[in-house]
Each structure stands twice: as C-alpha cells, then as structure tokens.
Structure 1
Amino acid sequence: MRKATLIVLVCLFCIPLFAQISYDEIKSSKLNAVRKLKIKLPKDYDPSSEVKYPLIIVFDGDYLFEPIAGQVDFQTYFDDMPSSIVVGVVQGSERRYDGYCDEVTGLPKESGLRFHNFVAEELLPYLDNRYNTSKFRVAVGHDLMGNFINSYLFKEDPLFNAYVCISPDLSGTVRDYLGKRLEFFKDDIFYYMATSDKDLPYIRQAVLNADSQISQVNNQNLTYYFDDFENDNHYTLVNSAIARSFDKIFELYKPLREKELEEKVLPYEGTLDEYLVDRYDRIENLFGIKKPITEQEFEKVVKVAEQRNDLESLEKIGKLAKKLNPESLLGTYYLAQYSEKIGKTKKAKKLYESALTLNDVSHIDRDFIFSKIDELTIADTDEQEEEEDNEEN
C-alpha cells in the first residue's frame, strides 16, 4: 500500500515538473562551444528575494536531470531538504570527451581538463551571478562522470560540498588514493557512493575497494555514506541511489524526529534552548540558508524538557521562542508554564492573560489557557482567604 502511495505521489510531482524546467545555453571559451543547460528553480523562487538556495549540478544531465529534479520536488514537499536550484549539463555525444581522464592518474586531461575548467571557471560563476545560490553545492555523476566529479576533490579548494558518485568508473590515482584524499579536509565534506550486486563487475570491484579505504578514514569533517543495492543493475540502481544520497546529505536539515529526540536531545548536556540554537546555526553555516525553528519543534523539545524534569530548559525555551517570534503566544505560554511550576502563580496568571492577546499557534488550545487562568484565580483566592484566616487566628 505504501509503495503504491509513493508511486502516485511521484506521478503527481512529475505532472508539473516539465512546466517548471527551463533551458539555457552558455558559450564557453574553454570548450570553444555552446553548451545546453536544463534548469529547475524552486517553485517559490523570487530573484529579488535575499533567500539563497543550494546548487545541484547534474552531470549526465541528458538522463539524470529529470529523476533528480523529481526527487528534489518530492523531498522538499516533506521538508526533508531545502528548496534547491537544479542544473543539468547536457553532454550528449561529447560525454566521452568531457570525462576523458588519464589512465595513470585518473584525473582529467586534454578534453576532460577543458571540461573540468569550464565547470569551475565558467559554469559555476555564470550560475552564481544569474541566480540566488547559496554556498552549498552538490555534484552528481554516474559511471564515467561519477569518476570525473572526484577530480574536484583533488583541488586545493574543492568546488563542491557534496559528491554523489553513482556506480563510478573509478580509475588510476583517484581509485587508489580516494580514501587518503578524504582524510585531509578541514571543512565539512559529504561523500556518497553506490554500487549493486548486479553492477558491471569491474566497476563493482573498484567501488568496493574504494569503500574499504574510505570506511577507514578518521576525519570528523567527512560524512560518508555507501550503498550496495541488491537486484539492481548498473542503470536501475540510479533511482535508489538518488533518493538515498539526498536523504543522507540533507539529514541535518530535516525536522526534529523521534530518533534525534531520543539519542541527542534527551541526553544533551546543557539547556535545550542551546541544542536548538546550535542545530539551526549548523544548518545555516552548512547550507547557507536560514531555517526558522517551527512551533512543532519547540513543542517536541518542551516535552523532552518535561521528561527530564528540566525547568531551566523550559524557561529558556520560552525566552527563545518569545525572542524569535514576539507576536506569537508560544514563548509567553511556556514562560507562564515555568512560573506556574515554580509556584509563582500570580506571575503565571499574568503571563497566561498576556498570551491571549498574542497570535494563535496551532497546537495550543486557547480554551485550555482560559481554564488555567480560572484555576490560578481560584488558587489565588483560596490562598488569600487562608492568609486572612491565619491573621485572624
């Protein structure tokens, strides 16, 4: 049933997809030719806005562009990755020349080097000047181009932050020293590689050897994922690899889920507002985009604070929510809860009352707030009567 639902959803996404794709041409002095591009901008793209978007460069854009553009639509719909600019480089009959590498080094030479420089010195600057791109760039390649994109890793300053190498035809030094190269990065690098049990034998063996190298790399800045699919061949593994790679690369961007709450938030050493701030700072620093903390995520972290009996976190989460969105009742509501829990009923009542003057949030029932005000009013009356009785006695 779930598989059928996913198929229907994918079909629904594909219907408007082609209408969103535009075509462009870029004149290259490096190639002495004009190259065609397929471009898909986010649905809400506004060139006058200051919002920035990750840039995904799809080599083998002739056949890889559409499945990747569809996957991006699918994952952004569920907020599992940020809206992104997807650019496919149409290579056609030039593909062999574009991916031409030295047999010994495995690095581009002659026509391959010209194409390498075209991407680095012409294509990327052209896209950065034309669109609102963030600093986060993803390179995707299959087979020959899956090997080719590794050449950017061997530059002093790699052009891409994430590499999706689908059944790459690894060769030469790249094949033998890929793991060694990945040991030395001081900035965050994502590397994904995939093969399958029915992949081309010589490609599969080289990929498995590379995986054994990379798996031993001890570099906290490297995030490495590897998939060895079953019953897929050299071509059918592409769709699975695209979905898996994007799911992993953008894992930090996803909304807070149960696994993270249990494994990272609950045992966090410090107040939980710090966890939220740090998490979203990392998203901004890594992807170059500012993602707001949602009401639902605040609520999830407050529940963890309650689970920890952590009143300090409750207070600080309230202050953070109020600072980030002062027009919302959310922060004031949490501060009212905190005051109530520490016995400051008069302050709690005033905070609940002021919360009612602010904007609603989806998961807080205003009737409940009214009931809390009534409850605290009765408590204040009973407390006052008790004090008067004590004075008389």
Structure 2
Amino acid sequence: MKKSITLIIACIITVSGYSQAIYESFRSIKLDQSRELKIQLPRNYKKNVKKTYPLIIVLDADYLFEPVAGNVDYFSYWEDMPESIVVGVNQKKTRENDCEYDTAEFLPTLKGSEFYEFIGQELVPYLNQTYRTAQLKIIVGHDYTANFLNYFLFKDNPIFQGYVCLSPELAPPMAERISSKIASGSDIWYYLATATNDAEGIKKSVLALDEKMQTVENLETHYFFDNFEESSHYTLVGRGIPRALEAMFEMYRPISKKTYKEVLLPLETSVYDYLVDMYRTTEQLYGIKREIRVNDFIAVSTAIEKKARDEDERWKELEPLGKLAIKEHPDTMLGHYYLGIFYEQTGEPKKAMRAYENGFQLSEVAFLTKDYMLDKVNKIKEDFGW
C-alpha cells in the first residue's frame, strides 16, 4: 500500500509541472524514420551547469515513461537517488517489430536489429552530446522490451550498467545467457520482477531465471528480484519501478539503521574507511561528488565509539573523521567535537579542551549545541583542576 501511495504522489509531482516532460522528434538513420521521445530533465538542470546526471532510458514510453519519471523525481527530491535525466522512447505501434529476434540464434534481427543499433549508436550518443550525462546509464522495459534490453547486457563493454526487467517475455536461451553474463561481469545492477498473477508462461520463465541467478556468486554485480503477491502482469509495474530504484541506489542513500546494525557494527576493518569508500564509489558510479551528510558522520562516529569500548585502538579513527568533518562542514561544530573526543580518549586533555573551544565558536549541528560544547570544556577543567 505504501509503495502504491508513493507512486501516486510521484506521478502527481511530475504532472504538477516541477519537472515537465519535453517532447522531441528524433530522426533515425538506422530506422529510416522519426521516433518520438519524452525527456524529463532534473528540476535545477539549467542552474547547475557543471553537474552531470545519470541517464535512464525507458522503452515502451507511451505508458512506462510517466511512472518511471515520476518516481525518479520523487526519489531524487528526498535525496534517495541522484537527480537523473529520464528519456522515453514511444513504441506504441512498433514494439513487436522493435523487439524482433530470429528463431535460430535468438538475437535481434531485421527491425529488431535496426532498433538495437538506433538505441546504442544513435540515441545514447545523441543524448550524451546534448545533455550532461554521467557514467551511470539504466534501461527499463516491460515484457517484450524487458527481454530486448538484455541484448545490451551481452556486449563486451555494455553502454548500460543498470537493467530493470519488468515481467520479461524471455527468448528461449535468455536465462542461460543472462546468468552467465552476470556471473562474469562487473558493475552491473540487474532488477527482475514477476507476480503471482503474472501471465503463466512469463512467470514460469522468470522464476527459472531467478533460480539460476541465485547460484551466481559475483561480488561485482548486484542482482535484485521480486515476486509480487496478488499483482498482475500490468499492476506489478507500479510496484517494481520504485523497488528497482531503491535497490539500485541503495548506496546513494543516507546510512540507515539497518546498515548501521548489519554493516557498520560487525565491520572488522576501519569504519572511517567505509565512509570514505562509500562516497568515493558513489562518485565513480553516479558521476556526482557530494558533500558527506551529517547523518552519515553521526552514524559512523556512533559505530566507532561503540566499538571502541571493546577495542581502544578504534578511538584513533575519530581523528581522521574529525578532520574530514571540518573539511566537509567547516562552519559547524561537528569536526571539532570528534577531535575533542579523540584527544580525550587518547590522553591529551588540553588538546581536547581546545578542540571543544574551537567548536563552541561555530554553528550548532544535530545534537551539538553551544551549551553541550561548553559543558565538555568545563568537565575537563574540573577533572584536572584548571
């Protein structure tokens, strides 16, 4: 129910004009015809002239574009994913020909081959030249087009890193080809969905593919699967799109309570390094350099302090964390507070007191207030009789 509400709200936001679609006719040499495109740019695209954005290509755009674009706008508004450029290709009268494959090799043929070249050799290069696209590119499809989009996965250097396959009508050898590619590939995000009331043949083949995918062990690829209860071939789309975005952009979101409990606390290596690596990885993937969130600093510092009660060496991680917080949030108390804790716990009370005093002069943030920082200073003075 919550996911349905999210989808409805997202679509309302899009319709209301904050991120209106641009309609464009694209003349294709490969297809020898024009194709209608729907393009949604991020809200502040014109203002952020140096910023690049992930590109999401939506097949079957005559009915898939709006739910995808609406969810992208909604998720990015709440910073659960990066703002992205969404481009839909209308296929209302051409989808079967566009997705045509031969019955010998089960590869694109005739119009299907032309459409494949149109996407890879014309449309994506055009979008890269016209708009500020980042490295990350995702493609979305449903039934026929969800099968077709897999052909891009089989290239040596795929132009898409993310694949959203909503109830795909799979070609006979597709399950073996997909699982084999996922097993040997890297930096691939693959989302697959069916439903209990999906078309029987489609559901059977999708479940068989999922069974194969469950045996794949490759830490450099990311596979996600949903079998929605009580949804049909068509209604699963409204549930699958937000689920796919949640899964593919999990690393982009703030550190959650679940990640804190299941990842940070059991982590045997440096929690500080985890934070740095997380933001470095998201920058590489999404092409966006972000300021580290205060929420993430707090999650990491809390984990460090909790683990340090059992391992004194862990206190040392607060020093680089404090310096990083000063760099990222120079006008706030945050970094100086971490340095103060570090100096206190490593036997340097005078340095700790100076760190708290330096923080006292800056802006309050999260749980840190001037009174709190002053209390830290006074407590050290009392303890040492200064």
- Mark yes or no: TM-score above 0.5: yes
Secondary structure, aligned partner of 2:353: helix
- CA distance in 2 between counterparts of 1:31 and 1:286 reads 32
5+ long unaligned stretches in structure 1: 384-393
Match runs of 1:130-141 below 5 Å: 130-141=130-141
- CA distance in 2 between counterparts of 1:213 and 1:230 reads 21
1:279 counterpart letter in structure 2: M
Larger radius of gyration: 1
Segment drifting more, 60-69 vs 203-212: 203-212
Q: CA deviation at 1:7?
A: 7.2
> Which residue of 1 is the match for residue 252 of structure 2?
253
Structure 1's 364 and 9: CA in aligned 2 closer, same or farther, altered over 3 A? farther
Secondary structure, aligned partner of 1:172: coil
Secondary structure, aligned partner of 1:277: helix
Q: Is the 8 A contact 2:149 2:163 kept in 1?
A: yes
Q: CA deviation at 1:44?
A: 1.8
> Which residue of 1 is the match for residue 318 of structure 2?
314
- CA distance in 2 between counterparts of 1:217 and 1:78 reads 33
Q: CA deviation at 1:177?
A: 2.8
Q: Does 1:226 align with 2:225?
A: yes
Match runs of 1:342-381 below 5 Å: 342-380=346-384
Secondary structure, aligned partner of 1:169: coil
1:348 counterpart letter in structure 2: A
Q: CA deviation at 1:122?
A: 0.6
Structure 1's 300 and 182: CA in aligned 2 closer, same or farther, altered over 3 A? closer
Q: Does 1:266 align with 2:265?
A: yes
Q: Is the 8 A contact 1:41 1:84 kept in 2?
A: yes
Q: Does 1:153 align with 2:157?
A: no
> Which residue of 1 is the match for residue 30 of structure 2?
30
Residue by residue over 1:102-144, the C-alpha shift from the partner in whole angstroms, topping out at 9 and shown as x without a partner, is 1233321111100100110110011111111111011100011
Segment drifting more, 305-314 vs 240-249: 305-314
> Which residue of 2 is the match for residue 390 of structure 1?
none
Segment drifting more, 219-228 vs 357-366: 357-366
Q: CA deviation at 1:166?
A: 0.7
1:272 counterpart letter in structure 2: V
Segment drifting more, 26-35 vs 304-313: 304-313
- CA distance in 2 between counterparts of 1:120 and 1:170 reads 21
- CA distance in 1 between counterparts of 2:323 and 2:239 reads 43
Match runs of 1:6-25 below 5 Å: 6=6, 9-10=9-10, 12-17=12-17, 20-25=20-25
Structure 1's 289 and 372: CA in aligned 2 closer, same or farther, altered over 3 A? same
Q: Is the 8 A contact 2:7 2:71 kept in 1?
A: no
> Which residue of 2 is the match for residue 104 of structure 1?
104
**Percent identity of paired positions between Structure 1 and Structure 2:** 39
Q: Is the 8 A contact 1:103 1:171 kept in 2?
A: no
Segment drifting more, 217-226 vs 162-171: 217-226
> Which residue of 2 is the match for residue 203 of structure 1?
202
Q: CA deviation at 1:96?
A: 1.5
Q: Is the 8 A contact 2:26 2:37 kept in 1?
A: yes
Structure 1's 160 and 47: CA in aligned 2 closer, same or farther, altered over 3 A? farther
5+ long unaligned stretches in structure 2: 309-313
Give the length in aligned residue pairs: 381
Structure 1's 334 and 181: CA in aligned 2 closer, same or farther, altered over 3 A? closer
Q: CA deviation at 1:56?
A: 0.4
- CA distance in 2 between counterparts of 1:6 and 1:48 reads 27
Residue by residue over 1:174-225, the C-alpha shift from the partner in whole angstroms, topping out at 9 and shown as x without a partner, is 244322232221x211111111121111212221222222222222222111
Q: CA deviation at 1:19?
A: 5.6
